[in-house]
Amino acid sequence: MRYCDVAQAVELVRALRQTLDEMTTQLAWLERQGVTGRNGRACAMRLEAAALRRDIRQAKVLIDQLRLRYLNGNGESATRDSQPSSSSAGSGRW
């Protein structure tokens, strides 16, 4: 795995997390607004909230996949020549 692949994965995870935070905030706002009415606007808000939930789930899946493939599953760079740090070495059982 090349260093540039890992660096790009780090940036993608960062951007996805930022977007995930924004979507979560927007979803919370929609849920607070949508519970008060049953008019057409509330229906549209429920549809938008459902779409946000799907996008949030997809973002989480993408983050997990990037972390597993490029970031050694724990947010640390996974390059061929990298040595495990004392914090990631653990007990050595695994």
pTM over the 0.85 mark: no
Cβ-count burial of 20 within 10 angstroms (0-12 exposed, 13-18 middle, 19+ buried)? middle
Contact (CB, 8 A) for 49 and 42: no
- pLDDT, residue 62, reads 96
Cα–Cα separations (whole angstroms), residue 42 to 37, 47, 54, 87: 6, 9, 19, 48
For the segment 6-29, what is each residue's pLDDT rounded down to a tens digit?
999 999 999 999 999 999 999 999
